[in-house]
Amino acid sequence: MFDSPFFIYDYPKGSRGFYDREDPKRPGILRDFDMIYPEGFGEAASGAERETDYETVASKMKPGENPESYEWYMEMLKIGIPQTAGFGIGVERLTRCICGLRSIWPAMPFPKVAGIWSP
SS3 label, residue 39: coil
Q: Where are the domains of the chain?
A: 6-107
Burial of 63 (0-12, 13-18, 19+ CB in 10 A): exposed
**Average pLDDT for 57-84:** 88
Q: Which helix (H) or strand (E) holds 47?
A: strand 42-50
The C-alpha atoms of residue 42 and residue 19 are separated, in whole angstroms, by 24
Do residues 48 and 31 touch, judged by C-beta distance below 8 A? yes
Confidence tier at 119 by pLDDT (50, 70, 90): low
Contacts of 1 by beta carbon, 8 Å cutoff, 6+ apart: 38
Ranges of H-type helices in the chain: 54-60, 71-79, 91-99
CATH topology of domain 6-107: BirA Bifunctional Protein; domain 2 (3.30.930)
47 in Cβ contact with 89 (< 8 Å):
no
What integer best gives the mean pLDDT of the chain?
Answer: 90
- Its pTM stands at 0.76
pLDDT over threshold 90, residue 116:
no
Identify any residues that bridge with 47 across adjacent strands, giving them in sequence order.
33, 87
